[in-house]
């Protein structure tokens, strides 16, 4: 037991302490449907909020530029080894500060400025760092985005192959932020082989599903796999890169000294804890439950007149086009937030509206599954959504739903949030 001789945060900085407490209350009392968010466990938060934040350790285990690494080296090795075991990967780098820097390290390892690259376009559900124009990755490299088909909104593998043959990209990214279907990793491997491109799988959204066996793994097929650690994987806010042995040295050199300075050791420790938790049999059940819940929620939404992009989901996320409801994604998202249902407005493929006020909403089940919600709650959530969106400017409806949401939240305490 530690006995503090110093004053607490509440004493030192009541303003920040109050805001953190208010965030705890918000996270406990609302239903988190943001597909990229989750609740890290108390164990993960403890590691992340530790004195490890004080330590500099530029370099890698046993090859450091600072002394005093007696705890840091074994912590980083545990994080690497647990991730390698969890995903069956030959190499793991746990130092990227987050998902975007992990992806930048891949470019630095393999591409020269101006090289052709390919990734799923942002409007089709790709990530900024896969070469979109407003991102440094679209400015420094010649990006040729692939998209989804107009009829069924599935990734157009014929287009991927045609663009790859035409432009001979150095790397092809597979992964996205708003794609509700299974990634066909073997098909990407085949195309990469045909054109001599490196296959880079960015599993930021689906890492937990891959770890838990609820989505096929790209490990063994992709040359490099990047990810965040804080989405379905339920770790701290961080990034990681897994690679085949032959690319290990290039990746490590790109992360440090290529792109970053000292690693965030508190995050590394928390990644190790998350990988430990994800290696337990319960995590397999968790990953499966995320997908079961998403399918149940998608079915309940469809029954209530929602138009889902691709007609449903294979993973943790759902993208809905609200055009039939005659309301923009932003207006809906703001009304739902007032009712305690927190999600984000999102462009849909071939959206005719602007990205800052698009036609759709994106939602996901990782967080509500972490709270232990199931089929019954999915039906309730679909029902609440339909009610709020139909009467988005009626305070009585919003208040009524908010009350029901708070009652349900009380029955499903959120991991990592002190009971409030």
Ligand X SMILES: *Cc1c(COP(=O)(O)O)cnc(C)c1O
Does the footprint of ligand X cover residue 137 (CB under 6 A)? no
For residue 389, which of 336, 349, 353 has the smallest C-alpha distance? Answer: 336
Closest distance to ligand X from the beta carbon of 102 (Å): 8
Residues 214-233: x where in contact with ligand X by CB under 6 A, - otherwise, as a string: --------------x-----
Active site residue 56: yes
Among residues 80, 89, 93, 100, the one that binds ligand X under rule CB under 6 A: 100
Q: How far is CA 309 from CA 64, 167, 179, 269, 294, in A?
A: 49, 29, 9, 38, 14
State which of positions 144-203 bind ligand X (CB under 6 A): 175-177, 202
Active site residue 232: no
Q: Judge whether 132 and 122 are in contact, CB under 8 Å.
A: yes
Query: Please, which residues have CB within 8 angstroms of residue 342's CB and are 6 or more apart in sequence?
Result: 30, 31, 32, 33, 34, 336
Task: Report the C-alpha dihedral over residues 325, 328, 329, 330, rounded to 10 degrees.
Answer: -140
Please report whether residue 121 would count as binding ligand X according to CB under 6 A. Answer: no
H-run or E-run covering 137: helix 136-140
Q: Is 337 assigned a catalytic role? A: no
Among 34, 45, 98, 258, binds ligand X (CB under 6 A): 98
- DSSP H helical ranges for 155-206: 157-167, 185-195
Q: Cα–chain-centroid distance for residue 256? A: 23
CB 140 within 8 Å of CB 87: no
Least CB distance to ligand X at residue 178 (A)? 9
Is 237 labeled as catalytic in the residue annotation? yes
Q: Which of 58, 73, 115, 190 is catalytic?
A: 58
CB 19, min distance to ligand X, A: 22
Q: How far is the CB of 2 from ligand X (least distance, A)?
A: 31
Q: Which is nearer to ligand X, 221 or 388 (CB)?
A: 221
**What is the spatial distance between Cα 225 and Cα 219, in angstroms, rounded to a whole number?**
7
Q: Report the candidate in 163, 149, 161, 155 with the shortest Cα–Cα distance to residue 350.
A: 149
Tell me whether residue 26 is one of the annotated catalytic residues.
no
For residues 22 to 41, the per-residue mask of contacts with ligand X, x marking binding by CB under 6 A and - elsewhere, is --------------x-----
DSSP 91: E
Q: Is 202 a catalytic residue?
A: yes
# binding residues, ligand X (CB under 6 A): 14
- Does residue 302 interact with ligand X by CB under 6 A? no
CB of 361 to ligand X, least distance (A): 17
Q: Which residues are catalytic?
A: 56, 58, 202, 228, 231, 237
- List residues binding ligand X (CB under 6 A): 36, 98-100, 103, 127, 129, 175-177, 202, 204-205, 228
């Amino acid at each position: 037991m530690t006995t503090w001789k110093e004053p607490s945060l509440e004493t030192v900085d009541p303003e920040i302490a109050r805001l953190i407490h208010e965030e705890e209350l918000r996270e406990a009392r609302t239903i988190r449907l943001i597909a990229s968010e989750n609740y890290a466990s108390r164990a993960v938060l403890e590691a992340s909020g530790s004195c490890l934040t004080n330590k500099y350790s530029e370099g890698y285990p046993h090859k450091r530029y600072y002394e005093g690494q007696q705890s840091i080296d074994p912590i980083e090795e545990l994080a690497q080894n647990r991730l390698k075991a969890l995903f069956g990967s030959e190499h793991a780098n746990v130092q990227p500060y987050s998902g975007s820097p992990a992806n930048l390290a891949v470019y630095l390892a393999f591409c020269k400025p101006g090289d052709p690259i390919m990734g799923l376009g942002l409007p089709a559900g790709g990530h900024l760092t896969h070469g979109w124009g407003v991102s440094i990755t679209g400015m420094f490299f010649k990006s040729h985005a692939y998209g989804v088909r107009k009829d069924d909104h599935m990734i157009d593998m014929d287009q991927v192959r045609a663009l790859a043959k035409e432009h001979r990209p150095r790397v092809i990214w597979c992964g996205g932020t708003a794609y509700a279907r299974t990634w066909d990793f073997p098909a990407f491997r085949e195309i990469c082989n045909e054109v001599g491109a490196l296959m880079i799988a960015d599993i930021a959204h689906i890492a937990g599903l891959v770890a838990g066996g609820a989505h096929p793994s790209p490990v063994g097929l992709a040359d490099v796999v990047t990810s965040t650690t804080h989405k379905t994987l339920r770790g701290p806010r961080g990034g990681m890169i897994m690679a085949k042995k032959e690319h290990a040295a290039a990746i490590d050199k790109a992360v440090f000294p290529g792109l970053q300075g000292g690693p965030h050791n508190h995050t590394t420790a928390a990644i190790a804890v998350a990988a430990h938790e994800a290696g337990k049999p319960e995590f397999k059940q968790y990953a499966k439950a995320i997908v079961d819940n998403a399918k149940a929620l998608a079915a309940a939404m469809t029954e209530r007149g929602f138009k889902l992009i691709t007609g449903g989901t294979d993973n943790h996320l759902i993208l809905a086009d609200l055009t039939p409801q005659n309301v923009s994604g932003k207006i809906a998202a703001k009304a739902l937030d007032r009712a305690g249902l927190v999600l984000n407005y999102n462009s849909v493929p071939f959206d005719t509206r602007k990205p800052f006020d698009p036609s759709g909403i994106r939602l996901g089940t990782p967080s509500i599954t972490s709270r232990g919600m199931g089929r019954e709650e999915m039906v309730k959530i679909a029902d609440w959504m339909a009610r709020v969106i139909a009467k988005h400017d009626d305070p009585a409806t919003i208040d009524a739903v908010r009350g029901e949401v708070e009652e349900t939240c009380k029955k499903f305490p959120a991991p990592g949030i002190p009971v409030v």
